Structure 1
């Protein structure tokens, strides 16, 4: 059965799974279940095309949160994809990147690390069940088109763009991933502003815009017993304006938190102007979408590259604006090894970091068939340690073409 046909059949089947994600606020221990977005809700009308996704997905992403769609593909399709992934893993086609942790021994073990079937292997017609991967790519291409329309991110789906033509079919990056028993991945974001990537930051033709995963595990995966949850560090207050990037492609680097005088949390963007690793400035958008600069032009290195950079920004760039300095927070400040040691991170075994001030946690069980979607720039997340079994997924990123050099 084709993936698309399977999806349509799901509309006629009532969802039976219970809650599979939970959200709780910084400073509290009480978990509040989040209502699951079941595929049956695609009968709600949205203004996009194909109607593969519930319309509630779009405001969820726009609020900087994770959209969770259980049963997006049925278990028989999950099994086909996982069988292909398992076969290619057994053949040694996956690559390990040593990014995941798995306990305190410090010894590299490829069976426990995060392993990825990278794009060249995914696209290789001689490997595994290529026809099924191609069908899956067709499905994700339709999802990308719907997201581009309804999130007003047209650059996600431009016909002749590098993002849609040069790399993966259906998604710019697309792969199988496997976390071995005990593996975890520390808190991070999937995309950073080009100025924060070093000298090669502007050299890439595309950048990540939306992150997605479809889990390939059994439908009864229970995070309490099996681990492996995706933990997201969401904002407690709804952001005012576009998260991730502006329409002209300036990426977000931080937040201005809510105050009694300004009851709106505002994304802070970095204007890279000439793309020469200098002449940068931070700003937010007023309610009329005009730019409100909060710093003068500055060099991003070393201020934005070192541990403690958030404090440096406040002390050097916002020294004359205490009202803004008190509100300012980076999305994901750089970390140094010595700060990990002070926090005891050498012994960290993937049980999950706490939320920072202004954040709330949401844990998502990686149940088979579940699709998750979130902004690549603005949502920090981590993968909690798996326990006794491997954790499988299809994962990827939908890109937009690199911002053009601005005339100044």
Structure 2
């Protein structure tokens, strides 16, 4: 893994990261090739029907159970909120730094909100502006505050590692490395009229098409800090109004953590069999199920170049499978009778904390679409088709689905000094329209290591 400091030039433009998260194809449930051999693809702006669909009215539900001041709320599908994470003097210094950078033309349109219809290269005056913080960013009287905030975030990072990763331990041994890194950090200015459509900050690598499995790290925990004094939605004399952060959350069941498991990212939820109002079970996608190449007659041409040395001796292919985590690892009965195959039995023996919900599958499996480019909603439908049990298929919903019962809205007012944290994979979110003033924030992501390619891959 590359050990990356926030002040190394690892940054890609914030717009590139968010745009790639807003729409991606699902081609990489097909072949996986070495990261070292993948070309660097140019990020392209494109709108997503998941972003641009008008949202149905969702009944507001008391969401206090998904707001907390304990980091563990992040692994339960909720939002961590801490007021006064930074002091009023630090807020003022950050405001001054933003002002100087703006006056020096360091901000650019994000291209994600209020785009001029029909023109991908021009942006309206209401579009959000961003400035990525890098080592070569213009220095000024208050630029010292960037280092101050970084040091606070590094301390926060250590606390998150100790809390979130340790809680995922089995028999006292963590199944995931404590490897968060503060990688992305940027300022944003959202003028009156600005919005940020609903999106997710990170997705499973197999939803990213040709861009999947390219990078050594992924977004793990999203963070933002508000920088507006006297901000109030209902007060006409306030410095500004609107611009609330809105999250759409589902509460994870007890004794299980959402987001990731053993490095496998969550791909959806299972509603309760009793009531959709109850807690939800996270469903994870394991993309590296080791299967003999003879599992499919098409495996050779999909995975390997027939001119590659030793081609005839290559015997393994990676396949995928969906699973949920057993809240009681000693209970091995719940779905085993439905999946009496040697491959599933061997997987559950190898991973006794998992209950596999599908047979191993690939792009040539029955029910998988022929298209090589799938948008996120079609990808979720394709995954659902692989679930072995009809009842489970009916209860399965993708992470980005916000309709239906059980979705709880969390709104956060942009109050100066307030810190917001949430899992980058699990929580769909948006920023509501700024009705007056300019909404200021500093935000970014803690990254964690993407799964390594298994030792048997390519053998």
- TM above 0.5, yes or no, is yes
Q: Which residue of 1 aligns with 2:105?
A: 92
Residues 74 and 236 of structure 1: is their aligned pair in 2 closer, same or farther, counting only changes over 3 Å? same
2:260 paired with 1:245: yes
Residues 156 and 116 of structure 1: is their aligned pair in 2 closer, same or farther, counting only changes over 3 Å? farther
User: Within 1, Cα distance between the matches of 2:73 and 2:178?
Assistant: 20
Q: CA-to-partner distance for each residue in 1:44-98, whole Å, 9 max, x for gaps? A: xxxxxxxxxxxx4223212111111112212221111011012101211122231
Q: Report the Cα offset of residue 35 of structure 1.
A: 10
Contact 1:156 1:398 in 2 (8 A): no
Q: Which residue of 2 aligns with 1:63?
A: 76
Q: Which of the residues 375, 380, 397 maps onto 1:329?
A: 397
SS of corresponding position for 1:366: coil
User: Within 1, Cα distance between the matches of 2:208 and 2:449?
Assistant: 17
User: Within 1, Cα distance between the matches of 2:63 and 2:284?
Assistant: 31
2:292 paired with 1:292: no
After TM superposition, the structure 1 = structure 2 runs for residues 258-337 of structure 1, keeping only pairs within 5 Å, are 258-260=272-274, 265-273=280-288, 279-287=319-327, 288=329, 290-296=353-359, 297-299=361-363, 302=371, 305-306=374-375, 307-314=377-384, 316-318=385-387, 320-332=388-400
2:265 paired with 1:256: no
User: Within 2, Cα distance between the matches of 1:214 and 1:245?
Assistant: 24
Residues 186 and 64 of structure 1: is their aligned pair in 2 closer, same or farther, counting only changes over 3 Å? same
Q: Which residue of 2 aligns with 1:404?
A: 452
Q: Report the Cα offset of residue 283 of structure 1.
A: 1.0
Deviates more, 1:145-154 or 1:27-36: 27-36
Contact 1:239 1:265 in 2 (8 A): no
Contact 1:156 1:399 in 2 (8 A): no
Give the unaligned 5+ runs of structure 2: 1-56, 167-173, 291-302, 304-316, 330-351
SS of corresponding position for 1:280: strand
Q: Which residue of 1 aligns with 2:94?
A: 81
Q: Which residue of 2 aligns with 1:360?
A: 408
Contact 1:100 1:184 in 2 (8 A): yes
User: Within 2, Cα distance between the matches of 1:280 and 1:201?
Assistant: 15
Which structure has the larger Rg over C-alpha atoms? Answer: 2
SS of corresponding position for 1:139: helix
User: Within 1, Cα distance between the matches of 2:372 and 2:354?
Assistant: 22
Contact 1:274 1:406 in 2 (8 A): no
Q: CA-to-partner distance for each residue in 1:351-392, whole Å, 9 max, x for gaps? A: xxx754320101110111000000000011111011121111
Residues 311 and 198 of structure 1: is their aligned pair in 2 closer, same or farther, counting only changes over 3 Å? closer
2:128 paired with 1:117: no
Residues 219 and 73 of structure 1: is their aligned pair in 2 closer, same or farther, counting only changes over 3 Å? farther
Residues 372 and 294 of structure 1: is their aligned pair in 2 closer, same or farther, counting only changes over 3 Å? same
Q: CA-to-partner distance for each residue in 1:295-346, whole Å, 9 max, x for gaps? A: 22123874892344444443x323x52110111001026xxxxxxxxxxxxx
Q: Report the Cα offset of residue 222 of structure 1.
A: 3.0
SS of corresponding position for 1:272: strand
Q: Aligned pairs, how many?
A: 330
Deviates more, 1:284-293 or 1:100-109: 100-109
Q: CA RMSD in A?
A: 3.2
User: Within 2, Cα distance between the matches of 1:35 and 1:195?
Assistant: 28
After TM superposition, the structure 1 = structure 2 runs for residues 97-176 of structure 1, keeping only pairs within 5 Å, are 97-101=110-114, 108-109=122-123, 111-120=125-134, 123-124=135-136, 126-128=138-140, 129-152=142-165, 158=179, 164=181, 171-176=182-187
User: Within 1, Cα distance between the matches of 2:80 and 2:59?
Assistant: 23
Q: Report the Cα offset of residue 260 of structure 1.
A: 2.7
Contact 2:247 2:429 in 1 (8 A): yes
SS of corresponding position for 1:172: strand
Contact 1:102 1:183 in 2 (8 A): no
Residues 97 and 261 of structure 1: is their aligned pair in 2 closer, same or farther, counting only changes over 3 Å? closer
User: Within 2, Cα distance between the matches of 1:199 and 1:236?
Assistant: 32
Contact 1:206 1:400 in 2 (8 A): yes
Residues 180 and 106 of structure 1: is their aligned pair in 2 closer, same or farther, counting only changes over 3 Å? farther
Scaled by the length of structure 1, the TM-score of the pair is 0.72
Q: Which residue of 2 aligns with 1:168?
A: none
SS of corresponding position for 1:82: helix
Q: Which residue of 2 aligns with 1:203?
A: 214
Scaled by the length of structure 2, the TM-score of the pair is 0.64
User: Within 2, Cα distance between the matches of 1:267 and 1:303?
Assistant: 26
Contact 1:228 1:387 in 2 (8 A): yes
Q: Which residue of 2 aligns with 1:12?
A: none
